[in-house]
């Protein structure tokens, strides 16, 4: 593990960035970099086109701020690009400071293949025929190949697919790949609890592909990495470094926002008691898990269910974000108990004036209209809800379209007294002048 390039002060917290190719502008950088930094992020998975490079300033800004980018080429299994074309991109990314390159996505799903290809025999072998040449090109550029995420369960059971893939690469003598390979594991949450499947196949020896009896548990939960660790250790004699992806993506509509702050605790090497059992601790996250990546925003603009993301489709913080930020503030203020309101003496700021920030920048009108208020009250001025939570009193400028009631409730739960000033421009100016 020491030979892998790891970001300075690695928190192991990571995020999936937008799934389109439209959010690499300077305004996107200035908007989202502070947001992931306040969440203690050290990693970012970036979906990248295979015919052009992501703008260098975007990648450089991440690296400069000790955030490790993982370039994800979600390549077509039916028509992958040529090695020559990809090699040019890989060389460019190498020069910009990239280390990790993830190849393909969910090859154990029927939908990832054309129907005729899926129906043929030796699916894993045919996948490796596509994966191995590109992985070799990645290694030639002294980059690190990352095995694609598999769908837990999946049309081709994921543990069986991974087992066959590692056995085949070992049989083919692909030691260069195996010696450099990083796995991924899709750590979804099971509706049966965060601890579902913990202990892996050693604890649940009766688990079988495509069938889980009432007396057994399987890999389809957060502790999927224990099952993958067991597979790699049995085949290679060692566990492979692994990136957890899509953390919290749920089976069905189930969501438990406290699971997210619990994972942050585990990543911080804290002991956590299983909520259903006061005598049982959750298993720790082992050192071979180099990163744990959550969904930052919905996977598509028209995706209505925002329950699994840290920001919703309107780019406002969700309950998950607010719950995690509360834990981060509690930790920074020396508090041990998770999900409790911050104590009165935990507010280093007396008064915070919270202003809206927009995708296009900061409103000059707001900066002008607050001047009398600032002279009278001398508040700290800013645009961050999580920073505002450090103040005893928060004056919020803007209606629900700028700051949702959910966001204001987070401030109240943090122990802040909250006052909202909203309305049209004249009304806001009058209300500020009267304070």
Query: What are the residues whose beta carbons fall under 8 Å from the beta carbon of 255, sequence distance 6 or more?
Result: 189, 248, 307, 308
Q: Are 224 and 187 in contact (CB under 8 A)?
A: yes
- What is the Cα–Cα distance from 20 to 316, expressed in whole angstroms? 19
CATH code for residues 344-434 = 3.40.50
For the cut 60, the answer to whether the pLDDT of residue 343 exceeds it is: no
Domains 13-332 and 344-434 share a fold: no
Identify the CA nearest to 231 among candidates 173, 166, 149, 157: 166
pLDDT over 60 at 344, yes or no: no
In tens, the pLDDT along 188-197 reads 998 888 999 9
Tens of pLDDT along 126-171? Answer: 999 999 999 999 999 999 999 999 999 999 999 999 999 999 999 9
- Contact indicator for 172, 178 with CB cutoff of 8 Å: no
pLDDT at 48: 95
Could you give the CA distance from residue 178 to residue 236 in angstroms, rounded to a whole number?
A: 9
Any idea which residue has 């991440």 for tokens? 62
Choice between 383 and 285, residue whose per-residue pLDDT is larger: 285
Task: pLDDT band for 77, please (50, 70, 90 cuts).
Answer: very high
**pLDDT tens readout for residues 228-260:** 999 999 999 999 999 999 998 765 555 678 889
**Distance from C-alpha of 315 to C-alpha of 91, rounded to nearest angstrom:** 34
* Rounded average pLDDT over 195-213: 94
Q: Which residue has the tokens 């450090």?
A: 390
Cα–Cα distance, 403 to 376 (Å, whole number): 24
Judge contact between 36 and 296, C-beta under 8 A.
Answer: yes
Q: How do residues 97-134 score in pLDDT, each as one tens digit?
A: 999 999 999 999 999 999 888 988 899 999 999 999 99
Average pLDDT over residues 60-71: 97
Spatial CA neighbour of 143 closest among 222, 65, 70: 70
Tokens, residue 105: 């996505």
- Collect all residues with Cβ–Cβ distance below 8 Å to 358 and sequence separation of at least 6: none
Contact 72, 106 (CB under 8 A): no
Single out the residue of 318, 292, 293 nearest to residue 304, CA to CA.
Answer: 318
Q: What is the mean pLDDT of residues 257-281?
A: 83
Mean pLDDT in residue range 418-429: 86
Task: Decide if 295 contacts 310 (C-beta within 8 A).
Answer: yes
CA angle 77, 83, 87 (to 5 degrees): 125
- Say how many C-beta atoms besides its own lie within 10 A of residue 49's C-beta: 12
Please name the residue that has the structure tokens 């052009």.
Answer: 52
**What region, left, alpha or beta, does residue 248 occupy, with left being phi > 0 and alpha being psi -120 to 50 degrees?**
left
Domain regions of the chain by residue span? 13-332, 344-434
Location of structure tokens 């005893």: 392
Q: What percent of the chain has pLDDT over 90?
A: 59
The pLDDT, as a whole number, for residue 55 is 96
Name 97's Cβ contacts closer than 8 Å, sequence gap at least 6. 59, 60, 63
| Cα–chain center distance at 368 | 37
CATH architecture of structural domain 13-332: Alpha-Beta Barrel (3.20)
Query: In whole angstroms, what is the distance from residue 358 CA to residue 339 CA?
Result: 29
Taking the model in full, what pTM does it have? 0.80
More confident residue, 151 or 398: 151
Fill in the DSSP letter of residue 20: S
Q: Give per-residue burial for 122-157: e unless 16+ CB within 10 Å, then b.
A: ebbebbbebbbebbebbbebebbbbbbbbbbbbbbb
- pLDDT for the residue 317: 84
| Closest-CA residue to 87 (of 128, 139, 48) | 139
- Output the CA torsion sign for 114, 120, 123, 125: negative
Identify the CA nearest to 43 among candidates 17, 22, 18: 17
Radius of gyration of the chain (CA): 24
Q: Name the β-bridge partners of 31.
A: none
């Amino acid at each position: 593990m020491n030979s892998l390039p790891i970001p300075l002060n690695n928190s192991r917290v990571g995020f999936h960035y937008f799934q389109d190719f439209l959010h690499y502008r300077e305004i996107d950088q200035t908007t989202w970099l502070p947001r992931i930094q306040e969440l203690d992020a050290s990693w970012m998975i970036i979906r990248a086109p295979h015919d052009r490079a992501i703008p260098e300033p975007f990648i450089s800004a991440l690296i400069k701020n000790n955030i490790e980018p993982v370039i994800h080429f979600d390549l077509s299994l039916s028509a992958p690009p040529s090695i020559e074309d990809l090699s040019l991109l890989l060389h460019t990314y190498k020069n910009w400071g990239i280390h990790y390159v993830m190849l393909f996505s969910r090859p154990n799903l029927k939908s990832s293949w054309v129907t005729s290809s899926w129906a043929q025999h030796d699916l894993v072998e045919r996948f490796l025929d596509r994966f191995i040449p590109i992985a070799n090109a990645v290694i030639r550029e002294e980059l690190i190949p990352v095995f694609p995420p598999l769908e837990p369960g999946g049309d081709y059971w994921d543990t069986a697919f991974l087992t066959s893939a590692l056995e085949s690469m070992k049989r083919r003598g692909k030691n260069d790949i195996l010696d450099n390979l990083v796995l991924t594991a899709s750590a979804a949450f099971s509706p049966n609890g965060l601890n579902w499947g913990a202990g892996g196949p050693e604890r649940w020896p009766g688990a079988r592909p495509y069938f889980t009896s009432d007396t057994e548990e399987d890999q389809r939960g957060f502790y999927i990495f224990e099952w993958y660790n067991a597979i790699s250790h049995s085949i290679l004699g060692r566990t492979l470094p692994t990136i957890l992806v899509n953390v919290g993506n749920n089976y069905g509509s189930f969501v438990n926002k406290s699971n997210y702050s619990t994972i942050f605790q585990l990543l911080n090497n804290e002991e956590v008691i299983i909520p259903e059992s006061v005598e049982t601790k959750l298993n720790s996250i082992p050192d071979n898990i180099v990163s744990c990546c959550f969904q930052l925003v919905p996977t598509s603009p028209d995706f209505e269910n925002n329950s699994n993301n840290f920001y919703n489709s309107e780019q406002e913080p969700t309950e998950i974000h607010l719950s995690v930020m509360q834990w981060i503030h509690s930790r920074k203020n020396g508090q041990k108990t998770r999900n409790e309101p911050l104590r009165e003496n935990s507010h280093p700021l007396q008064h915070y004036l919270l202003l809206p920030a927009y995708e296009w920048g900061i409103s000059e009108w707001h900066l002008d209209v607050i001047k009398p208020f600032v002279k009278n009250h001398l508040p700290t001025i800013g645009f961050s809800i999580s920073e505002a939570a450090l103040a005893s009193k928060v004056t919020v400028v803007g209606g629900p379209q700028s700051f949702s009631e959910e966001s204001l409730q987070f401030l109240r739960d943090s122990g802040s007294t909250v006052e909202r000033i909203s309305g049209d421009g004249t009304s806001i100016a009058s209300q500020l002048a009267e304070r």
